[in-house]
């Protein structure tokens, strides 16, 4: 048994920045990390953080760009709340020691790049590895802070909720290496578990993005919103040894062009101007659908992203990580194009929260990709994700600092009961179901959908849920089983949300309803608890 003031589940930018703000205010925090503390999904983020930092830019411009990308489903109040706090969030990171790329002509100024959907240069970055710079800095600070205890290689199984009070009182946690589940009670819990993109066969996310927080919150009684809006990044490396290596949108922001491959594999026709006047700088859903269309039309395995027309020194200095990784794979991006395909990248929906990151369950907060704050609507604007993590982590921390003194310490929770389960000798069932789920989600619930495909997916999900729940109830749990259970839950939420939207909007594109309705309504599914 263990007690803590605040239990933070997840160690990306949202979880760590919230934990640090709380710890700096004297609050005891326990951070739960699936792997090492520095292994949150933020580590893999290449692009940057969008914020109004240029004199020619404005909050109104950033708000407008976000609303346009969100295709009529953004909550304008949430958008303004987030955008207005962008510059201060970047300054906070700088004060923590994050070193962003500076302007070549004036080292006192931050270098700003431009990405798809943005009308101005407003993306602050650390070369092409912004997430790594943020994650390593915050994780080192958290590891050294006396008010933060890290539980590494630990997986949350479920939230512990006082049903009478409808208040979270802790969580059950699995020690992945040693085995065994323990109950940790807390006066408040912050979910910062990231998205659910591993529900698809092809994803740019690390393996841990299995929708754990969304599934746990739904089982605890929280409403889940907008799960049909799964963003596919247009340009993931097509290579057998680098299936989740993302090619940052910043390349297109700096002039890279999408081309069809000629018969000999060389770069051919540029195709994006046929689909949108913004060409390669169109929002991600448009670019991803254009690539998907061309691949299906021509029977291609991939398209090409070409930046060879830029000077070699420019490419190497602006994109050192991408250049180095591609070289390892035998591709010199200064001389040849990169083969790319779309892949699942970002979950725009999630646990419904208010502007203080509070959910429907008292004491439970959701920060970052796990949450649906109203910022993204039907499609996320590039580099608004790390911004959302930072802004709502601060909002949650401020609310906790103000209200936690009035919350009494929680009593010990009931221990995890394994008295009626046995060790499984059928682990192949888990691996088989994992592959089946991710394959039919890719085939039926991907970039382009139909009602029949969605219904087929729902039928298979119903069967899998029965199998997985039976397995979960009879055998000792493992990390793979927990993630599979959560993945099939979020798959169900995605499909049910998609079936309830008879239109095409943002990231949800269905051939049966290609038009967008005049009325714009978010999709909300009630929690199970």
pLDDT in tens, 456-487: 999 999 999 999 998 888 888 999 999 999 99
> What pTM, to 2 d.p., does this model score?
0.90
- Same topology, domains 233-343 and 428-517? Answer is no
The residues pairing with 259 across neighbouring beta strands, listed in sequence order, are 270, 304
State the Cα–Cα distance between residues 384 and 49, nearest whole angstrom.
6
State the Cα–Cα distance between residues 118 and 123, nearest whole angstrom.
9
Tens digits of residue pLDDT in 271-318: 999 999 999 988 778 898 899 889 889 989 899 999 999 999 999 999
Q: Is 95 helix (H, G, I), strand (E, B) or coil?
A: helix
* Residue among 199, 331, 308, 197 nearest 255 (CA): 308
Structure tokens at 518: 């005049």
Which DSSP letter does residue 299 get?
A: T
pLDDT at position 151 is: 96
State the Cα–Cα distance between residues 493 and 499, nearest whole angstrom.
10
State the Cα–Cα distance between residues 505 and 502, nearest whole angstrom.
10
Residue 269 has pLDDT above 70, yes or no: yes
Beta-strand runs (E) in 91-229: 112-113, 123-124, 148-151, 154-162, 167-175, 181-191, 224-225
Which range has highest mean pLDDT (106-120, 340-354, 407-421)?
340-354
CATH classification code of 2-229+348-406: 3.50.50.60
Which helix or strand (DSSP H or E) is residue 134 part of?
helix 130-144
Residue 511 has pLDDT above 60, yes or no: yes
Residue 51 has pLDDT above 90, yes or no: yes
Rg (CA), the chain: 22
Determine which one of 114, 252, 284, 325 is catalytic.
284
How distant, in Å, are the alpha carbons of 89, 158, 208, 325, 490 from that of 464? 42, 20, 20, 38, 13
Structure tokens at 11: 């160690």
Instruction: Give the start-to-end residue ranges of the domains of the chain.
Output: 2-229+348-406, 233-343, 428-517
State the Cα–Cα distance between residues 222 and 372, nearest whole angstrom.
11
Q: For residue 425, name the pLDDT band (cuts at 50, 70, 90).
A: low
pLDDT at position 341 is: 92
On average, the pLDDT of the chain sits at: 93
Residue 420 has pLDDT above 80, yes or no: no
| DSSP string of 408-432, one letter each residue | PPPPPPPPP--TT-B--S-THHHHH
CATH 1.20.58.100 fits 428-517, yes or no: yes
Any catalytic annotation for residue 501? Answer: no
User: Which CATH number does the domain 233-343 belong to among 3.20.20.80, 3.10.310.10, 3.90.700.10, 1.10.1370.10?
Assistant: 3.90.700.10
Tens digits of residue pLDDT in 116-163: 789 999 999 998 789 899 999 999 999 999 999 999 999 999 999 999
pLDDT at position 307 is: 97
How are beta strands 2-9 and 29-32 bridged, if at all? parallel
Which helix or strand (DSSP H or E) is residue 230 part of?
strand 230-237
User: Which residues lie closer than 8 Å to 276 by C-beta, 6 or more apart?
Assistant: 282, 286, 287, 290
Between 426 and 19, name the one with better pLDDT.
19
Structure tokens at 210: 């299995």
Residue 1 has pLDDT above 60, yes or no: no
State the Cα–Cα distance between residues 364 and 179, nearest whole angstrom.
26
Residue 241 has pLDDT above 90, yes or no: no
């Amino acid at each position: 048994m263990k007690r803590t003031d605040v239990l933070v589940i997840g160690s990306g930018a949202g979880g760590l920045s919230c934990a640090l703000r709380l710890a700096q205010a004297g609050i005891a925090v326990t951070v739960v990390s699936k792997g090492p503390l520095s292994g949150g999904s933020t580590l893999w983020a290449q692009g940057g953080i969008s914020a109004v930092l240029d004199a020619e830019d404005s909050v109104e411009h950033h708000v407008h760009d976000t609303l346009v990308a969100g295709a009529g489903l953004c909550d304008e109040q949430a958008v303004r709340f987030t955008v207005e706090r962008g510059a201060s969030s970047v300054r906070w990171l700088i004060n923590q020691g994050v070193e962003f790329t500076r302007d070549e002509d004036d080292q006192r100024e931050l270098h700003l790049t431009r990405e798809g959907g943005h009308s101005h240069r407003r993306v602050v970055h650390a070369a092409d590895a912004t997430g790594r710079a943020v994650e390593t800095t915050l994780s080192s600070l958290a590891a050294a802070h006396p008010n933060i205890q890290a539980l590494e290689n630990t997986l949350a199984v479920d939230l512990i909720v006082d049903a009478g009070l409808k208040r979270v009182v802790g969580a059950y946690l699995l020690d992945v290496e040693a085995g065994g589940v323990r109950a940790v009670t807390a006066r408040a819990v912050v979910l910062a578990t990231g998205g659910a993109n591993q529900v698809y066969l092809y994803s740019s996310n690390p393996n841990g993005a299995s929708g754990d927080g969304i599934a746990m919150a739904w089982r605890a009684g929280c409403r889940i919103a907008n799960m049909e809006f799964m963003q596919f990044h247009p340009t993931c490396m097509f290579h057998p040894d680098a299936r989740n290596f993302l090619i940052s949108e910043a390349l297109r922001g700096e002039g890279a062009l999408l081309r069809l491959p000629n018969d000999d594999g060389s770069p051919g026709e540029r195709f994006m101007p046929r689909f949108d006047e913004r060409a390669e700088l169109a929002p991600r859903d448009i670019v991803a659908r254009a690539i998907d269309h061309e691949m299906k039309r021509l029977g291609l395995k991939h398209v090409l992203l070409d930046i060879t027309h830029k000077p070699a020194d420019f490419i190497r200095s602006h994109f050192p990580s991408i250049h180095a990784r591609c070289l390892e794979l035998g591709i010199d991006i200064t001389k040849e194009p990169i083969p790319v395909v779309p892949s699942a990248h970002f979950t725009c929906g999630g646990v419904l929260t208010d502007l203080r990151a509070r959910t429907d369950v008292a004491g439970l907060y959701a920060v970052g990709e796990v949450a649906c704050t109203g910022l993204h609507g039907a499609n996320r604007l590039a580099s608004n994700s790390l911004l959302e993590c930072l802004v709502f982590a601060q909002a949650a921390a401020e609310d906790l600092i103000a209200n936690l003194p009035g919350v009494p310490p929680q009593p010990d929770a009931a221990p995890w009961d394994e008295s009626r389960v046995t060790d499984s000798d059928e682990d192949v069932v888990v691996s088989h179901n994992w592959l089946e789920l991710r394959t039919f989600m890719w085939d039926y619930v991907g970039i382009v959908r139909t009602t029949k495909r969605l219904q087929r997916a729902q039928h298979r999900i119903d069967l899998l849920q029965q199998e997985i729940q039976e397995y979960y109830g009879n055998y000792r749990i493992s990390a793979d089983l927990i993630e599979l259970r959560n993945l099939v839950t979020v798959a169900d939420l995605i499909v049910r949300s998609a079936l309830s939207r008879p239109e095409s909007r943002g990231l949800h594109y269905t051939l049966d309803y290609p038009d967008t309705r005049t009325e714009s309504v978010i999709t909300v599914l009630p929690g199970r608890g």
